[in-house]
Structure 1
């Protein structure tokens, strides 16, 4: 009788092991929902430059310049390199509110005025539905990997330069060509 119970217990363990192994295999073969739903825009050919007290910092960026791109933003993105970000371009200076719902990585949100000057820097916590706002109207928002602003000495009052930003001209940057400005939708 004891021998039969051991065989039954062994068979149950073997079946459970096969079920667990099968589940692990199929799970590993299916792309995660985060990967399949993440929006990835082309990297803009012009770098974004942050002019700081300690020197210029360059970033490769994706430009979100229409409503659908701004709404999706970096949602579902699980990682991003240190010198990469997304620039949100709004059709006019206005109050903006962001949140981190469906965003699994922490971010620095840099709020920028029409003149290219940084107005506020806020931190976004992963998956949070708390409203993140600069407290004043802005025209642009730059999202970077969390800690990048502190690491690179980016502060309120610093200047961002990029062709999508009206004050793109300056040392090391060609003047902004109005014909090359990304299209934005109007309300």
Structure 2
């Protein structure tokens, strides 16, 4: 009788560990669990309507091609750092401490200053904490594909 209980408990523990894993990126030695937004609908929704973003979590936007990008904070309730990376996953532009915006279509854009393919949104203050500079490399973990 104890064997089935132990087996069930072990399987539940393993399932919990597996679900805790997922896509991640690493930036200046810090690992972030990320949600991936790699199609138009996911990119358009982004982090809208969320009241918080867990520590060491973010959203990685993957575009089909490297090009000038501009993001906005429409219906976004939390301040963010918006980090732009090129095809080589090097930081080319950053918008720090971008405030929430409830002005709908009146929210201002936050453009990249150079073409980018990957955009990482993190809690505001992370770029300063990491002392990010142009050229910083974004490393991809398992589950993050370049398309």
Stretches of 4+ moved more than 2 A in 1? 152-155, 180-183
Answer 1 or 2: higher relative contact order, Cα 8 Å, separation at least 6: 2
Find 2:99's aligned residue among 122, 125, 137.
125
Whole-Å separation in 1 of the counterparts to 2:75 and 2:146? 27
Shift in alpha-carbon separation, 1:122–1:116, aligned structure 2, 3 A: same
Q: Which residue of 1 aligns with 2:51?
A: 78
Which secondary structure does the structure 1 equivalent of 2:78 belong to? coil
More strand by share: 2
Give the number of equivalent residue pairs: 124
The structure that has the greater radius of gyration is 1
Tell me the C-alpha RMSD between the 2 structures.
2.3
Unaligned ranges ≥5, structure 2? 1-18
Whole-Å separation in 2 of the counterparts to 1:100 and 1:43? 28
Shift in alpha-carbon separation, 1:98–1:121, aligned structure 2, 3 A: same
Unaligned ranges ≥5, structure 1? 1-41, 164-173
Kindly state the Cα deviation for residue 44 of structure 1 after the two structures are TM-superposed.
7.0
- Alignment pair present for 1:49 and 2:13: no
Q: Which residue of 1 aligns with 2:72?
A: 99
TM-score under structure 1 length normalisation: 0.61
